Amino acid sequence: VMPLPKPNVSNAQVEVLTEEKFSLGEGPHWEEKTQRLIWIDIFGPSVNIYDPATKENKVYNIREQLEKLGAKGNRVTIGAVVPIVGEPNKLLIATGSHIATFDPTTGEVEFKNEFQDGKDQTCYNDGKCDPSGRFWVGSMGVEKDAKVDDPEAGNLYLVDKGFAAPQVKDSKHTISNGLAWSADKKTLYYIDSIPGAIYVFEYDDITGCISNKKTLFDTTKLDVGFPDGMAIDTLGRLWVAGYFSSAVHCFDPTCPSEPPVSVPIPGARCITSCCFGGKNLDELYVTSARKDDLDGENAGKLFRVTGIDATGTLSQCYAG
């Protein structure tokens, strides 16, 4: 197989977009309709809306609402956010063990359904919508000091339209993370951060079935940190956030032996996720985490990278 062209990132420019440092920025989603970035702080827990036109980042903290609804401990978190088709004032959020809606205009959180895995501390982590608008989201065990107390406690779930009960599509994951679908809708890429694996599945867009799981990249053999969130560009290259690597790494899934191309994010060691945005989808929005002062002066901030020689695909919304 001929490798895909490598992006020329020698002119990449990294811009810091927020002064505020968030504990665990994650889940960026470019909303094309409003030309804004929706993203989260897992431990805030908050939904954030960044408007590039005004350079304002609005923070909607939902801790109080979650606690009122009975969430406790590890489950007072938010793992993912996506807009809902036809619902301009509502967002789907994965929070603790619940799929819920959040209305930024009123601050209201409404629980829709809950996963039942017989454990009381697992919680939702990263999630995204497939090309048909179904929501896929993974879970993970309790994390302390970058170690997970309950390895392989996580599942990959599918939430079909109409807020259907979550179906387990794959299991035995430690930190369920990035998701991306190929343009021909035949492949799902999926990351489990702790074994450092980027998996590939055959995917059926009509049924939502996945099969024939293989490890595409074992990142423990590469100098890319722990693979975290991910985005896919129009050529099918995977842009993967490298936790503990201060960079986003571009992988070629057609040629796993090709070394990735890295885009450094200065002053932020723990890079958590990325998505394409901007009018032409040629900018990369990047989130990061901050645990302590060793993580760098920009740790926990939101970034935008331009000049990456790549164009992304649209972030999908939940079909509702």
Residue 228 annotated in active site = yes
Q: Which of 126, 170, 228, 295 is catalytic?
A: 228
Q: How does DSSP assign the chain, residue by residue?
A: -PPPPPP--TT-EEEE--SSPPSBEEEEEEETTTTEEEEEETTTTEEEEEETTTTEEEEEE-HHHHHHTT--GGGS---EEEEETTEEEEEEEEETTEEEEEETTTTEEEEEEE---S-SS-EEEEEEE-TTS-EEEEEE--EETTEESSTT-EEEEEE-TTTPPPEEEEEEESBEEEEEE-TTS-EEEEEETTTTEEEEEEEETTTTEEEEEEEEEEGGGTTS-EEEEEEEBTT--EEEEEETTTEEEEE-TT-TTSPPEEEE-TT-SEEEEEEEESTTS-EEEEEEE-SSGGG-TTTT--EEEE--S--B-PPPPB--
Q: How does DSSP assign 45-92, residue by residue?
A: TEEEEEETTTTEEEEEE-HHHHHHTT--GGGS---EEEEETTEEEEEE
- Show which residues are catalytic: 228
